Structure 1
Amino acid sequence: MKKLFALHPSIILDEFNSLRITGNYRLLALSEQSVSFQTNDYVMTINGEDVTVLMLTEQHAHVSIDELKEVTLRFTPEEENGYEH
């Protein structure tokens, strides 16, 4: 299915308890305390007490985090990350 408008990846951390990713992404890891996503050349890891996936589709992810403990954002150049756009 062709998209009418091209989506550029965006990451929104709202109120330190909700994470929304729109656009192309890759789910790298998921556990009760953490989640890791890759979008383009960046890898984001969120650690918290209780991580819950509320929605996971091809172009959108919504995650709830109780007691956010750590957010890391790492630059990974395209030739190293193996992620296909």
Structure 2
Amino acid sequence: MLNRQLQGENVDWETEFAIPLKRGVDTFRAYVEGWYNGTFQSVIFYPESTPDIRRMISAILAGYAWDERNPFVSEPKRRLRMLSEICADGGS
């Protein structure tokens, strides 16, 4: 984007940079906050977790917080809360 701007192109920094950056930061933040409030811990330490869910959450923690193909990236707070409730109920 910087190169495009330096070449005279109009660049919308808010739309092309700030908003997508905030989306990823907010996704990652949901899991950090979930760790400290206990919701994420209940998911991580759930003994019957599925490999797919572990893989999707691990991807976010590894830096793929912008990959919207991952369902845990879209609406991260809601999905983490729902998953935590399922784990707290014993998976039923």
Larger-Rg structure:
2
Q: Which has the higher contact order (CA 8 A, sep 6+)?
A: 2
More helix by share: 2
TM-score by length of 1: 0.30
TM-score by length of 2: 0.29
